[in-house]
Amino acid sequence: MSSEAHGSTPAGIDPRGPRFGATITNVLSVIIFFLALDEGAANQNAAYLLLVFAAALFAVGAFFGPGAHPYSWLYKKLVRPRLSAPNELEDPRPPQFAQAVGLFVAVVGIVLQVVGVRYGVAIAAAALFAATTLQAYFAYCLGCQIYLALKRAGIIRAS
């Protein structure tokens, strides 16, 4: 049973891990954006499929937590061994919520594409780009800030 089920705070995570994942997603979102703007059907389809792939990655992080995300595995195996210990650990719940926000944005883009909105995928990719730029390069997690605001407002109840 998880520590959260007992009412305690879950084990902390290295805050550099989510930043690493945001950097990868940032690059992916740029690729999706430019493919989605191209008039060619092949590029439109590629953008759509990459957004579906991004949504699947967000789903893993949203449902199973940041530690289960494939980018977390890459960080732990390739990057973390080359770094010193983090100064502090962070609560994994805000980054997990941020993954849910990313999933929501990606799903909106997918739905917009399915219903025929011409730039739906590009709009979703632009939103993902903006959020991941803040996280990757400025250590400002927009989804985490939304989580904390909802927690302060009493909408999210977490120990």
What pTM did the predictor assign? 0.90
DSSP type of residue 38: S
Domain boundaries, the chain: 14-152
Which amino acid is located at 130 in the chain?
Answer: A
| Averaged pLDDT for residues 135-156 | 96
Which amino acid is located at 44 in the chain?
Answer: Q
pLDDT tens-digit map of 147-156: 999 999 999 9
Check residue 11 and give its pLDDT.
84
- Find the length of the chain: 159
pLDDT tens-digit map of 2-48: 344 445 567 899 999 999 999 999 999 999 999 999 988 899 999 99
pLDDT tens-digit map of 48-101: 999 999 999 999 999 999 999 999 999 999 999 999 999 999 999 999 999 999
Q: Helix, strand or coil for residue 144?
A: helix
Residue that is written with structure tokens 């739905």 in the block: 111
| CA dist., res. 145 & res. 127, Å (int) | 16
Check residue 62 and give its pLDDT.
98
The β-bridge partners of 10 are: none
